[in-house]
Structure 1
């Protein structure tokens, strides 16, 4: 049995989600439950369904149960990771680098492939297809963003907006709406003129009239980041090996974003993303109330 804790907007609720039976005999009494966390990038139930098979797969090798916890923001996730409240986390490249800058115990071990078996993804700028935007008056434009430390948030959207509208994002009205799905939906509802989000999620809204108008360079894929202060070297190696050796029939049952296999993180995986000095300059709040 795996317990799923959902922490969102200051409220705490607990979901119990069955992902398989674990033999009590296999767990010593002192065995600690491991904490896995992710941000709610879409509806919570959908994310649980995405990750449950992968966590069950890891549990069988670790002889530990894994508790699934949602964090409301990357800032909170990073703080809890540093405080050793998290053992493993599913994170994009920008927050991974932000965490590694603050905590040397953070170790990304694998990144997840896309549907073509390639490693990496793009952020995109979107609008509602029928809209004719007044680019000559950029100060009137409203932009929906995911969140401050999201790779497809302010960091990637600012240069895309600059190239498309020929004006800085800082001169427009923008708000953090947190989830990629919410970016798409808020643009489709007409609440925002533009939005920044992950390409694969934007593609799923094309049929509703969402139009992709600009693409970022490819960035490293989402990673599984382990806490070397709370996990033993043996556990870390078991997790790494288990994921790298997962057969296709196994990971094909995992969620869409993680169902195409993994690659080991290399020393140069994040080399071209040399923006440590820029992380602190990202606005932590939007300018649209």
Structure 2
């Protein structure tokens, strides 16, 4: 009789734990986590799945990763609130907030301990060029026309130094940061614009930093404006708690090896980039 009583108590405790434990059910509508297409969709899903699983555990709600077809489509989706969570490039966020208004920011990446990143104008180590003004009459390599760090930022840096693209002997768009680094290394261009990460990768092969940009706020995570405020608060808390969670390093480095944490994000953090984009692309300033 005593054994039956113990079994009954244990069963009651297990039932209680089952009923009160947070769990993901099929009835809960998944949160749609949209990512801009900066890599092939299969690669992005692989990189961001650990983060999605972490958020599911924290929120007790399913999270589905979705990849948009283009950068502009991603900007429009976020601007029209056709998402729940979004990962954006810094310039895409600035363009989106300018066109549609600001959205709730959840966090931003921290790379090597800093929630900012830098652009570099690079030359070969044996180049006689010593400052940005020396680039008049020289050739210059940009990356993609829509790239923050391989076009908008270096173009801004040139303009601040009094050098327009019309002062260059020639300039070309090589599509990627790596192509820019290789083009300068090979002597096809006198200088080029890349992000700091790519400069570090190729520095020992013969590159030198000519100039470094002001700090630019890192890639943000954004929430839909119409999400419940309590859910936005929980999401923000979950992102920032990655810094102290045992799962944090694996989740963070899955996105990119150099990611070391998450930092708080405010709309004002992107004002420097707004100035860069405004000056760097302002009509008439290259005359």
With the length of structure 1 as denominator, give the TM-score of the two structures.
0.70
Q: Structure 2 vs 1, CA of residues 159 and 235 (structure 1 numbering), >3 Å: closer, same or farther?
A: same
1:30-68 deviations in Å (ceiling 9; x for gaps): 62451321342x677665554332222113234223224
SS of residue in 2 equivalent to 1:211: strand
Q: Does 1:69 pair with 2:72?
A: no
CA positional deviation for 1:121: 1.8
State the alpha-carbon separation in 1 of the partners of residues 33 and 268 from structure 2: 28
User: CA–CA distance in 2 between the matches of 1:112 and 1:167?
Assistant: 32
Change in CA separation of 1:65 and 1:272 when aligned onto 2, cut-off 3 Å: closer
- Residue by residue over 1:56-106, the C-alpha shift from the partner in whole angstroms, topping out at 9 and shown as x without a partner, is 211323422322415543x33212322444433333433322211222352
What is the rounded CA distance, in whole Å, between the counterparts of 2:98 and 2:276 in structure 1?
A: 8
Distance across 2 between alignment mates of 1:47 and 1:250? 19
Would the alpha carbon gap of residues 128 and 56 (structure 1) be closer, same or farther in structure 2, given more than 3 Å must change?
farther
Aligned residues: 253
Which residue matches 1:3?
none
Change (3 A) 1:109 1:27: same
Q: Which residue of structure 1 aligns with residue 139 of structure 2?
A: 141
Change (3 A) 1:182 1:52: farther
Equivalent position of 1:204 in the other structure: 201
1:207-253 Cα distance to aligned partner (Å, 9 max, x none): 33333221011122221122224x44333222211111122532211
SS at match of 1:260: strand
1:243 pairs with one of 239, 260, 270: 239
What SS is found at the alignment partner of 1:244? helix
CA contact (8 A) 2:153 2:280 kept: no
Match of 1:224, SS? strand
- Given that 1:35 and 1:85 are in contact with CA atoms closer than 8 Å, whether structure 2 keeps it comes out as no
Match status 1:125 vs 2:121: yes
After TM superposition, list the pairs within 5 Å mapping 1:57-96 onto structure 2.
Answer: 57-62=54-59, 63-69=61-67, 71-73=69-71, 75-96=72-93
CA distance 1:49–1:30, change in 2 (3 Å):
closer
Q: 1:187 to 1:43 in 2, by over 3 A?
A: farther
Equivalences for residues 246-261 of structure 1 within 5 A:
246=242, 247=244, 249-253=246-250, 254-255=252-253, 256=256, 259-261=259-261
Instruction: Give the C-alpha shift of residue 123 in structure 1.
Output: 1.1
CA distance in 2, matches of 1:206, 1:223: 28
Per the normalisation by structure 2, the TM-score is 0.70
Alignment of structure 1 residues 180-191 onto 2, 5 Å: 180-188=177-185, 190-191=187-188
Of 160, 163, 167, which residue of structure 1 is paired with 2:157? Answer: 160
Query: Per-residue deviation at 1:263?
Result: 1.9
Across the aligned residues of Structure 1 and Structure 2, the Cα RMSD in angstroms comes to 3.6
Unaligned runs of 5+ in 2: 1-22
Q: Determine if the alignment matches structure 1 residue 225 to structure 2 residue 222.
A: yes
Q: Check 1:147–1:79 CA distance in 2 against 1; reply closer, same or farther (3 A cut).
A: farther
Q: Provide the rounded CA distance (Å) in 2 between the counterparts of 1:139 and 1:105.
A: 41
Secondary structure at 2:123 match in 1: strand
